[in-house]
Structure 1
């Protein structure tokens, strides 16, 4: 009797289990609530199957603020992002990695890798996880965010931020021009190491906001030498030639700032008029939403005092 009961019991379990399995897809299909596990993203190099809801992203060439702004989890970042004080809280427990550190990336078990088109070991990285790269400067700073939004399946959120930011930046630009005059010029100069640089309209340090969103004027000398390449190295002796009526001075904490003690610098009109605004160099070389929001606040406070 016992021998007969066991097979009957097993058959009942199998029947119940089969019925249960048969009902699930019907409910799923009826509700239509199941999200796809992967989406096809059209990258620069062709179509790539990427997670529809990435959970473990590795960033090898910046774009960190873009991903963080869209609320996606980051497990590995490049050295510049890791050392960026703007992201210190968010990246406190995130690993520092590089395109040559394949073993460490494997250990992080990423489901998506993002970098610039010049990263090393791209083919090997693709074997670890879907890998998408971008050419620096191919897209403007706002379009880049929308593009990353598409990659992360968050295009609507990215576009919403872009629309709002443009509106606020343009409004602030109108206020600034109303205060300083339509013809007033603004320079963005940086002290890094022992060198001085002047920047064009698309090289971070607030340049995109000042020249693109706010439409403030760039000194002709800056336009002539820095606009095409994006930046230009200058000496302290020729600094007055590149200084606008207003100067944003980005300074790294370990930069050689002895040029500020020279008469050449002290006699620049912007310096004499108290129209030089110092920006912290660390973290200024990014153009993501987190950094841009910080820079917009800095520019607004510097020019308008609020």
Structure 2
């Protein structure tokens, strides 16, 4: 069929892997090279099935809890990019496990902030999503009851602290910038003395990807976010696309998930990817559209990213040898 309709694709930049995800995947890869299979990983290293399946094929074994790992193993155990409660490394030490921590440094920064505020005697308010591994990890830095979770503006309005003058705020790193600002405004107006971070804890990559979608979504008929349904930052991108006025804003894990009925009469399409989605899946989606449309791809750059995080020292020589 030669008379394919034409389609302008606006590709958001930045999109896809952030420095924390890149580092976490590298840690698993290098551990497999250095120590051989198996390498145990507690929780999905990042929230992307394609990435997890790829590492599993190389010999990574994913578990949800350390108790699933056999006693007496000398295989390395890696903690995921989302961070863990203090009880997890304590249990690993108790069991004499050799563990590597792939927690994103920007999540670690939030953990350190929470501990510092607690030492200064503040009660802590955490804005985040209940049950998300990052939130479980942050709440697990302190004894039960020291951190109160706020998920919505209504929660912020209803929150009754023990001491209204002695509060400090931290946030999950992968939230919607706009939603979080609304909750922070409520908390600040109700508790003027609340200690807030100089800039919310939402990480640079989450912010940049949301800003890119805000710039592109009003210019296109439909928006695709390549990512996973359990990826907080990917789901936020879908919401940002909807709010920015794009009538179709959907999440797909890969090209096979595309519901073509939603894209029948479009002439322009925005594409982005969550921070844990590999670029190969973005290319796969563009390829699927190229089979049905004459595509013209334009890159919409809203920010430049050149951040990289160090990997643990024990793996660094291997990384240098492989020319990273």
Fold shared by both chains (TM-score > 0.5)? no
Q: Report the TM-score range of the alignment, normalised by the length of the smaller protein.
A: 0.3 to 0.5
Structure showing the higher helix proportion among its residues? 1
Q: Normalising by structure 1, what TM-score?
A: 0.33
Asked which structure has the greater CA Rg, the reply is: 1
Q: Highest relative contact order (Cα 8 Å, sep 6+), 1 or 2?
A: 2
